[in-house]
Amino acid sequence: MSFDLNLVLESLPQMLAGFGITLKLLLVSGSLGLVLAIVLLLMRMSGKFYLDWLAQIYIYVFRGTPILVQIFIIYYGLPQFEAVRDSVFWSILREPTGCAILALTLNTGAYVSEILRGGVLGVDKGLLEAGSALGMSARHKLIYITTPLATRLALPAYSNDVISLLKSTALASTITIADMTGIARTIVADTYAPYEVFISLAIVYMIFTLAIQKLFGLFERYLSRHTRRED
């Protein structure tokens, strides 16, 4: 078997046409997932046991099931209910992209909330005591002490989750979405050249991952500026 370089050169631009959809899946579900994660985190830290439990059950369910199964349940399962078809959400859920974004959001939200919680737990209690002693309210301490420090602590694990989310977006191709992986599968079905096509695809994802890593590296450096002894 020989490696067909021409096929790589031909299929790369085609796959890159799906880059926009991959990027959209990543950015939309990534940001909505972050909002969800913060809500779940606040529920867990609320001190109200019913909110805490609700969040814990949610996190358990979404971390405890494969994301592919979650995508299938949302895409194939939900439309069976008339209530869903009649609801305002139907305009989102009738589209595979809407379903994929919903599934990715719900899934990443569960993971990220635990990552953020790790950051919050890592903040030195003495600093919060200092805040209290200065008369700062719980809200002030959350905004000015806990959030900036927890963000810095959670960042490495969070960047890991964003990269993982990028790769989960490939699962969207299972529900007819023409993201980069979806297009690659179509090309493979036409050309019977899985080797060339999927290796090219893998390299595109790696370059994308590198960009995400660098971006988080810069952000981490910015947030760590106070930990360097010299200016």
Nearest to 101 by CA among 75, 76, 80, 77: 75
User: What does the DSSP assignment read for 94-115?
Assistant: TSHHHHHHHHHHHHHHHHHHHH
User: What does the DSSP assignment read for 47-90?
Assistant: S-HHHHHHHHHHHHHHHSS-HHHHHHIIIIIGGGSHHHHHSTTH
Residues that bind another protein (CB under 8 A): 124, 126-127, 129-137, 140, 144-145, 148-149, 152, 225-230
Nearest to 166 by CA among 117, 99, 212: 212
Which residue intervals of 142-227 are DSSP H helices? Answer: 147-168, 180-191, 194-223
Decide whether 207 or 228 has the Cβ nearer to another protein. Answer: 228
C-beta of 134: minimal distance to another protein in Å? 4
Decide whether 13 or 135 has the Cβ nearer to another protein. Answer: 135
Contact 120, 112 (CB under 8 A): no
C-beta of 225: minimal distance to another protein in Å? 8
C-beta of 28: minimal distance to another protein in Å? 30
Phi, psi of 57 (to 5 degrees): -65, -45
Decide whether 2 or 125 has the Cβ nearer to another protein. Answer: 125
Decide whether 39 or 223 has the Cβ nearer to another protein. Answer: 223
C-beta of 30: minimal distance to another protein in Å? 25
C-beta of 124: minimal distance to another protein in Å? 8
Decide whether 124 or 190 has the Cβ nearer to another protein. Answer: 124
For residues 177 and 227, what is the distance between their CA atoms, to the nearest angstrom? 44
C-beta of 92: minimal distance to another protein in Å? 39
Decide whether 129 or 190 has the Cβ nearer to another protein. Answer: 129
